Every structure is written in C-alpha cells, then in structure tokens.
Structure 1
Amino acid sequence: MDAFGILTKSGTFFNKKKFANDIDLFDSQRRDGAEGQSTQLPKDLDFFGDLKTSADKGKRREKPKAEQATDEVAAYSPPSQEEANRMRKQMQVNVTDNAQPPLRSVQELQSALKFEKYLMRNLSFLDQLTPVQAQGIPLACSDRDVLAVAPTGSGKTLAYLLPLLHTLGEPKKEGFRAVIVSPTRELAQQIRNELARVGVGRRWRVSILSKANQATMKADPATRSKHDILISTPLRLKHAIETGEVDLSNVRHLILDEADRLLEMGFVDQVDTIVGACSHPSVRKSLFTATLPASVEEIAQNILRLPVRMIVGRKDAAAQGVQQKLMYVGREDGKLLAVRQLVQEGQMKPPVLIFVQSVERANELFNELVYDGVRVDVIHGERSAAQRDEVIKQFRRGDVWVLIATDVLARGIDVQAINLVLNYDFPQSPASYVHRVGRTGRAGRIGQAITFFTNDDAPYLKSVVNVMKSSGCEVPEWMLKLKKPSSNQRKALKKRPIEREAVHEAAGTKVGRDDVKKHKQLVNASKRRKVAGESGTRGEPSGAAGNGSASDASE
C-alpha cells in the first residue's frame, strides 16, 4: 500500500458531500447532531476506524439519561462516607475536603444539586460524568474556592461551566457577574461555544473581550450592564481594567482556565491585576489546570481563599487514553526522514497535530511538507486572528489533514478526533509535554503521541519518561535509569529552547525538498511522454513539468 499516495492523491478527489458524516467528526460544534447514517469507505481511507456499518442502520438511539431525568426527578439519597471514598478511589480522585460527595450519575445533577430543567435538556448528549465532573461540579457549586487538576480532554470545561450557570441562576442587568480567563483567544472562543451549547433556554449575554467591544464599553458605559459573563485573555483584560473600560467590582465568579499557563511568570502581573479588580467580598475563585508545578501551586494558594484541592489521576500525568512513544532520530536531519517513514508505514493517519518549538520552525516544516504533497497548514501567533480561525475550521472539516502548531497556540485546539500528536521538537517542560499530548485521546477516544528526540535532547529525556510512567505507559528499563536533569538545566530549557539546525538546512543534507521536487518532475515528465506517445501528439515544452509539479504540490 502506498500510504503516501493515499495522503496526496485521495485528498484531491475527496467528496465532501458523499463523506459528510465522516467530516462531521472533525467539527465539535456539529458532532452531536450527526447520527444514524453511514458511508462505506475503502479501508485505506478509514482514517477514524470507527465508521458506522450498515448493521447500525435503523437502530434507534436510546434516550440519554440526562434527557430521561428532566420530567421525573428521583429522590436523592447521598452516598455514605465509605461509599464516597470508594467512588473516589475508583475514579482516582483525591480531594482535601470530603464534605462534598461525588455524583453517581448525570441525573443527580438535578436530584442532588437541583439543576434547572433547561440545563438538563441541554445535557442530553451526556451519558455519564467524567471523574473531574462527578467530583468537581459539587465542589464548584459549594461556597468554596477550588483548585482542580485533571488531564487535558477530561471534561474540565463543563466541570466549571455547569456550576457557573446553575449558581448565576438567570440573566440580570447588573454588569459582569462572572469572568473566565484563558491564555489564548482560540480557547476563549471554544469556551463561549460550549456556553452557547449548554446555555440554550436562557438568554445569557456572554462577551469575549475584543478591541471592538472595548471601544463600545468605553464610549457607552451603560452597555456594561448588558452582559453576564466575560471571557478574555489576561493582557487584554488587564488593559481594559486599567483604562476603565470594564468594571469587575460586581463579579461573583472568577475562573482561571489553563491556570498553569496563566500563573507562569509572563502572566502573573496580569492575573494579579484581574484578581484585584474582582473586589466583591463574596467572589469565588476557581483554578482549573492539567498540570500543577510547585511554583504554580504556591502562587495559586496566594490567590485562593481556603481552597479545596482536587486532583484527578496523577499530578502532571497525561490521560490514560493516549498511547505514548519516544523515537530516537539522531540529529535534526533524521526528523524529516522519520516523518516520511511514518507516512509510508501508515502511522500518519489524519488528523495529525505536529508541535515545534518556534514560529520559524513551524513555517520551515510547513514548506517541507507542502513539497511532499501533504494537506498541511500551520497555526501560530504571527498569523492573524481571522487566519487562525479559518485554519481551525479547515482542520475540523478535514480539509487540512496535518496541522503544525507551537505550544502557545496548542491550548486553543480542541478537535475531538485527532488521531496522532507528533512532537517534532522535544517539549521544553513536562507541563508542555502533558498539554501537547493531551490534544489527542479526548472524550474517551484512544490517541497516539510520538516524541522525537535527538542527541541534544538526551539530557532532558527523563522528564518526559517520568510523565509516561505516571500515565501508565510501558517504558524501557534503561530509560527509567536515566539521570534526571538538574534544576539549572530545567530552568534553562524552560527559559530558552535548544538551538537547532533550521529545518530546511537539515533537509538539504539528506532528504531535502529539492530531491522530492526533482523526483516529482521526472515522474510527471514520464507520464506526459507516455500520454503523448499514445495519442501521437507532441509533448509540452520543457519547463512545464517544473511549473506543473510546483502547482500541484501547493494546492
């Protein structure tokens, strides 16, 4: 099987209308409505491995438990302390306060916590609660500050959005009553989309802070009272506070999503300003994160008031649904060769997310893969917001099969069906590794993560090995015996990544795009000569092959 040919040639004739159901797997905003239809595909094109067969046709979808619970509410009987502890052990949940027992089912959102019917109707897609939701929602509904640590893709967003809407009750014209801070604009948009989905039935007024609405609020302060929930990145919100464009004195709920990133040194001053502006005496603060380094936990404890801490699984561990693998590539020139081998072996099944350490390297790798004919695009901070939005949409639709990203933008990419995460460049910290590989294996799916490492990365290998071990992955014994990087080494790597040979320079030594381009030109020229010979017509002028090849590769 020519897997490389499948990635290129088959993509050219991809029939979106015929395979609409499969494309929907990319689109998190539409995925819940697609059901009951199927299309048979050749085995080589079954990227997701979970297409419905003809045997599934005609099956009636069983009414979800949340939907069944809205009309008749069963009496709630709280679990005993012994049962609650047993549930936590089974879910691998640790809490510092046992006062709030975990929920046993979706129905208990209504029977135990008195969730409104509109919320329960909007949760018809939810068959069961994840551990962070089962324990986190009762905690967030209590009058306590919360510090929650759970793997990426484990359902943290719903774990704080549902209690938020429940405790706010209904829209009011009192100004912002809740603020959600996220490290990236893309993540902020995803939070808003999730709010729109679960908030149907109430006219919640949710605003993402932008230049446009900042100017409006400054020109007409009365518009501030027309919003209930504000979502923003820290720098923009800090600026709006300092210029008097927003007033957070009435905020009752402050939520920091991806708190490990927000409490890093670059954001601490901004977060401090935001926390200070939320001056209402009864404000409740919640921090949700996938990793919790000691330095971040220390800052978090200073922000929160007598918080209850919840940890799902092992701290600083990846989700158990991710199959993790380390791959030695020697030097930088071995990375592209390894990528092409993965393609030929059929391991690069779309959709694929590739991580690099800088914008420059993202662009360089993009140029190399484009010449390989791969449906690839790149997302990083130097692209405009509109460009980034369009790239994400194309990735979800399946128009883009391989997406190259940097760490900063990684936290805004939430595509449920990502099959493979490839760490082309070694991550700068265990937290970075956890967030990268957490882009796959989401919502109960099985995902794969492959991390390249070179001779230059060897001193830092043990930090990733520890995460893999904590996540339940099998790790060779010799890796477990590796020496840990020193404190100074870790700090240096986190501050500045390893200096690497440029991607295009490394490619030029062994497997550069010039060789690939020349090979394609020869193949295309051979095809034209064959066609010309059969038809008795003259071939195209020399030079057309080069132009045709470049044009085909860039489509």
Structure 2
Amino acid sequence: MDAREIFKSLTCGAKFNKKPQNEIKRKLKEEPDVKTTISTKRVKEEKQNDEIDFQLLSGTQDLQSSKKKKKKQLTPEELSKIREDERISKLRKDNKISVIGNKIPAPIEHFDELCSLYSVDTKVVDNLASCKYTVPTPIQMQALPIMMTGRSLMACAPTGSGKTVAFLTPIIRDLKAPQKNGFRALILCPTRELAKQTYQECVRLTEKTGLKIHVISKVDKADETFGVKSKQMCDILISTPNRVRFLIQQEPPALELKSIEWFVIDEADRLLEDGKDNFKEQFDDILKACTNPSRKLALFSATYTVPIAKWAIKNLKNLIRVTIGQQNTATDQVDQELLFVGSESGKLLAFRELIRTGLKPPVLVFVQSKDRAKQLFNELLYDGINVEAIHADRTQQQRDNIVKGFREGKIWVLICTELMGRGIDFKGVNLVVNYDFPSSEISYIHRIGRTGRAGRRGKAVTYFTQNDTTNLRSIAHIIKKSGGNVPEFMLTLKKAKKSDKKMLAASAPRREEISTVVKPEKQDPGQFVKAPAKIKKKKRKGGKKSEE
C-alpha cells in the first residue's frame, strides 16, 4: 500500500467533534495524569475567557462602562489626590523643575504659603517683600518646601536664579530666635567677596528677628569674638573654608561647631572638587567638627559635576536632587557672542574698538591670571575710562573698596580673574567680556552669569584665537542650547581629548604679555666684535711697569 491508501484507511469514518471541550473532559477522566491536569486548567480558563468575550460582544457588559464604573468607585479623597498630583506635575513642568527622590514636598506658588504650610513668621515674609522678592523663582518654589521639611538637598539652578534666598529663608525659620548655644547654622562660600555678599543678604532677611549673623573678617580676633569665653550671641556664621578650618584647629579651638543645625555649601561643585588649590580637605575637616546628630546639609550651585553627585548620594540620607532647566547650561537671559581676534594683540585692538564704538558700563572683563589683570589695567588706565583691577595680590581692604566702587558706579570697567567668577551679584552689569578664553565649560557658565540676572537681559563677548580651540566646540554647544547663534563649523569641530581638557583646567596656557610697548629685540652676541684680551704687563728695567 502506498501512503495515499494508508491515509484513506486511517481516516475512513472519522468525525470532527464540534465541541472539543467535552471530548477532552472524557479523555481526562479515563487517563488522568500531571499533563492532563494542566490541560484541564487551561480548558477552564479558555472557557471562562470565551464566556467573558461573549458577554462583552453581546453588549451585556461594555468595556468603557466598566472603566467608568471603576472611576466612580474612587473615594473623594482619592480623586482629590489624583487632581493634586496632576497640578503639581504641571507646575513643575511649566517651571522646568526636575526632582529625584522619595516623598518630595509640593512646590509653592506664593511666599504667603510659607506662613500657612510651614509656620514661617510673617516678619520673614515681610522682609522678603521689602527686598523686592514678590514671586518665588523656580528654585525657591521647590527648595524652600524641601529644606523646611528637614530633608537633605542638592540643588542645581542657573546663575541669578535666587539660590541665596532659597537656603537662607529655611535657616531663619528653623532658628527662630537668638540663643547662646553657639553657632547653629554655617554657610560656606569659596571667596570672601561672596561670603560678604551673602552676609548682607542675610542681614536684610533677618531684620526684626533678633538673629545674630557673623562673617569672619579678622582671624586674629576670632577667639575673643566667637570663642568659649565670648559672651556674644552667635546664630549664623558665613565664611570661607580656609578660615573656618584654621579656627577649629587651634588649641583650644577658637570656633565651636557642635551645635550646627544647618550646614549649607554655596557653589558646592567648587568646594567639593578634588585637585590642587581646592577646598575638599578643608570641607572634610569642617564637616567632622559639626557633630550635631540632627545636622542637615544642603548643597547649592549653578553647575553640576559627577564628583559632587557621587559624594551627595553616598553621604546624605533622605536626599532630594533638584535641577532647574538643563544641567550645565547658560542662562537664556544673556546674548552671547564668540569673536575671533586672530592673536593676543588682536584682543586689545578689539576691546579698544568696543570702547570707541560706545561702552555701556558697568562692564566685567575676565582674564586668566593676576599678572594679565595688571597688564591689561596698565594698558587701559589712560584710555579715558574709569577702570580698576581686582585680584589676589590686592589687600582685603583694597578689594572691598574696589567692589564698593563698582557697585556705586564709580568704576566703569572691572578687570578680574576667576576670583569674581562665582556667585557675585552686581546689580545691572550690562556686559561681560571674556578677554582670555575660559579654561572650562563650567568656568564659562559662571563668568557670563554675572550679567543677565534677576530677569534683566545682558550681553557676553568671548574673544578667541587659533590657540583656544580646545573648549571652543563645547562652549559653542552651550551657546546653542541657550538659544544663541553660532557658526555651524564650530558645532562640528573635532571633540577635544579629555586629557587636554583636564590639563587646560589645571593650568592656564602661556600667552604673550598684554602690552603695546615695543620692546627692543635681544641682540645676537655673535654680531659684535669681541674685545681684545687683556695685554700682559711687562716689567721694565728698574722695576717700573709699562703697557704695550
């Protein structure tokens, strides 16, 4: 028999059962085992599913009506929570607030909410209004509730966005009234200028509260002012890391930090970065001295770095991270321009052309070192503008007078180094000139952030030469992200090596001196005729000497 005949004989009289489930049940009763038990379960599930599908198709139970029925089953409290979550999500999205953490408090929309929700004294809100803080900025909207609930915070917000008020207000709320238990709040800043600026802002916000705010100006008098024997009340200390560490390492310590309740680090990425001439070691020693178990920590900066994020995640419990806008981007309130000047001498010509066409003070000019600040100052001294330079070689009194003169409009153009690149808030700076190309993207963001603050527009011009291409591509992308226009070729330049960027950030490149004085060229010694050798003196007869 061939295969066809065999198939016919096997299928002869075969019938197809229209109800396969009954047949399967009959077989299961005859030969029950593990496999058939599983099949039985599947059959029951399929039957139930078929019945449900049939009911849905027949219209006895509509899918949409079932969803509506489920919604109707929600309690009023649940519906209210859903609506509140949607409102909070929209509020954060509209203000470009990004948050990471658990059980994050909702942002506020008005400063009056601080009184009703967080028991802030009305005096503090009145002080905010008198300082012309009427509507909270995005960082204030989210950072204030977080700190007032006692959570650790790492906040990144653009320059000029109101970070100082965001961390001072919760501190003032928590301390309430003056006490004699020593300092209860510590704020660290990278420079004395920024520390004094924060101090002045704190004095304005604590008016009528009685709280005592101090900034360390003279280290030699700190013991009698803040030491154990001092009877002066101390509540908030604002200073730089070097001075605080010096005082706590004295024997006996001239400064006690055991009662610190709030520890705030302003410009945290600068204070926590590793490397030469940085503050990480000082910060670690100060943190150990703050032994209060209920101490809370908050980090604020305009730029984000990986080391600071790793440190915060590792060391801070119950941490919330807040970012306003995109990380490490320049403010969109500044019109930015990259200007090719050819050579170092071209920078001076470009700046003098800027003066000739009409300079609108106040203006900040950034150079890479104190020597170049001195050189540029000497060149511009007689150009008919009120110019001054501030750098590390100036005494503290000179620096204070220069900053005061610039704020009062007596100084039109202020030449400075990175010393003034962070945090300093000069009202109404119209122009920032990067005379020397910034050493990093972060440096660029902080420099141009001295203008375009508090909603006012500003302008920034950055000079570059053929030797400044290491960071040109990355800074061009920063300008592009913030809405500026840059030539397309800059965006497509080859990426710089990480090693080159690190080297540039660690040490400034060598540049020609800023000078229009023509120096005489060094003469080649070979072009001169050598002087004859000394002629030996011979003795004449009689003992007299004569020269030939």
Question: TM-score of the superposition, structure 1-length normalised?
Answer: 0.75
Tell me which of 215, 223, 235 is aligned to 1:215.
Answer: 223
Separation of aligned partners in 2, 1:270 and 1:480 = 39
Separation of aligned partners in 2, 1:439 and 1:259 = 18
**SS in structure 2 at match of 1:371:** coil
CA shift, 1:174, in A, is 1.0
Separation of aligned partners in 1, 2:380 and 2:468 = 23
State the match for 1:80 in structure 2.
84
Q: State whether residues 175 and 224 of structure 1, in contact with CA within 8 Å, keep that contact through their aligned partners in structure 2.
A: no
Tell me which of 395, 399, 407 is aligned to 1:396.
Answer: 407
Unaligned segments of structure 1, at least 5 residues: 1-76, 511-555
Tell me which of 105, 113, 117 is aligned to 2:110.
Answer: 105
Separation of aligned partners in 2, 1:426 and 1:78 = 51
**SS in structure 2 at match of 1:256:** strand
Separation of aligned partners in 2, 1:302 and 1:388 = 38
**SS in structure 2 at match of 1:179:** strand
Q: State whether residues 260 and 290 of structure 2, in contact with CA within 8 Å, keep that contact through their aligned partners in structure 1.
A: yes
Separation of aligned partners in 1, 2:83 and 2:438 = 43
Tell me which of 235, 253, 271 is aligned to 2:242.
Answer: 235
Runs of 4+ in 1 over 4 A off after TM superposition: none
**SS in structure 2 at match of 1:453:** strand
Tell me which of 274, 279, 282 is aligned to 2:291.
Answer: 279
CA shift, 1:212, in A, is 4.2
Shift in CA distance, 198/79, structure 1 to aligned 2, threshold 3 Å: farther
**SS in structure 2 at match of 1:329:** strand
Please tell me whether residue 262 in structure 1 is matched to residue 271 in structure 2.
yes
Q: State whether residues 176 and 209 of structure 2, in contact with CA within 8 Å, keep that contact through their aligned partners in structure 1.
A: no
Higher RCO, Cα 8 Å, sep 6+: 1
CA shift, 1:509, in A, is 6.3
CA shift, 1:297, in A, is 2.3
Separation of aligned partners in 1, 2:270 and 2:365 = 20
Separation of aligned partners in 1, 2:225 and 2:402 = 30
Tell me which of 320, 332, 348 is aligned to 1:308.
Answer: 320
**SS in structure 2 at match of 1:503:** coil
Kindly tell me the number of residue pairs found equivalent between the two proteins.
Answer: 430
Please tell me whether residue 367 in structure 1 is matched to residue 378 in structure 2.
yes
Give deviations 1:209-232, integer Å, cap 9, x for gaps. Answer: 2314423157x5132762011111
Q: Aligned AA for 2:222?
A: Q
Please tell me whether residue 93 in structure 1 is matched to residue 105 in structure 2.
no
Q: Aligned AA for 1:330?
A: G
Q: Aligned AA for 2:212?
A: R
Separation of aligned partners in 2, 1:171 and 1:475 = 53
Separation of aligned partners in 2, 1:137 and 1:351 = 33
**SS in structure 2 at match of 1:174:** coil
Q: State whether residues 98 and 323 of structure 2, in contact with CA within 8 Å, keep that contact through their aligned partners in structure 1.
A: yes
Give deviations 1:84-132, integer Å, cap 9, x for gaps. Answer: 1111111111011362111112222223222211111112222211111
Separation of aligned partners in 2, 1:381 and 1:406 = 9
Please tell me whether residue 172 in structure 1 is matched to residue 176 in structure 2.
no
Separation of aligned partners in 2, 1:113 and 1:324 = 41
Separation of aligned partners in 1, 2:85 and 2:487 = 40
* Residue pairs, 1:179-190, within 5 angstroms: 179-190=186-197
Shift in CA distance, 224/411, structure 1 to aligned 2, threshold 3 Å: farther
Separation of aligned partners in 2, 1:299 and 1:362 = 35
State the match for 2:233 in structure 1.
226
Separation of aligned partners in 2, 1:434 and 1:477 = 21
State the match for 1:339 in structure 2.
351
Q: Aligned AA for 1:83?
A: R
Tell me which of 208, 220, 225 is aligned to 1:201.
Answer: 208
Separation of aligned partners in 2, 1:409 and 1:381 = 11
Please tell me whether residue 465 in structure 1 is matched to residue 476 in structure 2.
yes
Give deviations 1:460-497, integer Å, cap 9, x for gaps. Answer: 20121122223222232211111221110110001001
**SS in structure 1 at match of 2:230:** helix
Separation of aligned partners in 1, 2:404 and 2:232 = 32
Q: State whether residues 176 and 224 of structure 1, in contact with CA within 8 Å, keep that contact through their aligned partners in structure 2.
A: no
Please tell me whether residue 384 in structure 1 is matched to residue 392 in structure 2.
no
Q: Aligned AA for 1:176?
A: F
State the match for 1:323 in structure 2.
335
Shift in CA distance, 225/286, structure 1 to aligned 2, threshold 3 Å: farther
CA shift, 1:78, in A, is 12
Shift in CA distance, 171/102, structure 1 to aligned 2, threshold 3 Å: same
State the match for 1:116 in structure 2.
121
CA shift, 1:82, in A, is 1.0
Q: State whether residues 333 and 509 of structure 1, in contact with CA within 8 Å, keep that contact through their aligned partners in structure 2.
A: no
Separation of aligned partners in 2, 1:101 and 1:453 = 45
Please tell me whether residue 135 in structure 1 is matched to residue 142 in structure 2.
yes
Give deviations 1:16-53, integer Å, cap 9, x for gaps. Answer: xxxxxxxxxxxxxxxxxxxxxxxxxxxxxxxxxxxxxx
**SS in structure 2 at match of 1:95:** strand
Please tell me whether residue 491 in structure 1 is matched to residue 502 in structure 2.
yes
Separation of aligned partners in 2, 1:172 and 1:180 = 18
CA shift, 1:367, in A, is 0.6
Tell me which of 156, 169, 189 is aligned to 2:163.
Answer: 156
Shift in CA distance, 289/254, structure 1 to aligned 2, threshold 3 Å: same
Q: State whether residues 177 and 229 of structure 1, in contact with CA within 8 Å, keep that contact through their aligned partners in structure 2.
A: yes
Give deviations 1:324-348, integer Å, cap 9, x for gaps. Answer: 11111111010011111222233x3
Q: State whether residues 320 and 471 of structure 1, in contact with CA within 8 Å, keep that contact through their aligned partners in structure 2.
A: yes
Tell me which of 295, 302, 320 is aligned to 2:307.
Answer: 295
Separation of aligned partners in 2, 1:304 and 1:179 = 17
State the match for 1:411 in structure 2.
422
Q: Aligned AA for 2:100?
A: T
Question: TM-score of the superposition, structure 2-length normalised?
Answer: 0.76
Q: State whether residues 223 and 255 of structure 2, in contact with CA within 8 Å, keep that contact through their aligned partners in structure 1.
A: no
**SS in structure 1 at match of 2:111:** coil
Separation of aligned partners in 2, 1:433 and 1:440 = 12
Unaligned segments of structure 2, at least 5 residues: 1-80, 520-548
Q: State whether residues 267 and 423 of structure 2, in contact with CA within 8 Å, keep that contact through their aligned partners in structure 1.
A: no
Bigger Rg, structure 1 or 2:
2
Q: State whether residues 184 and 412 of structure 1, in contact with CA within 8 Å, keep that contact through their aligned partners in structure 2.
A: no
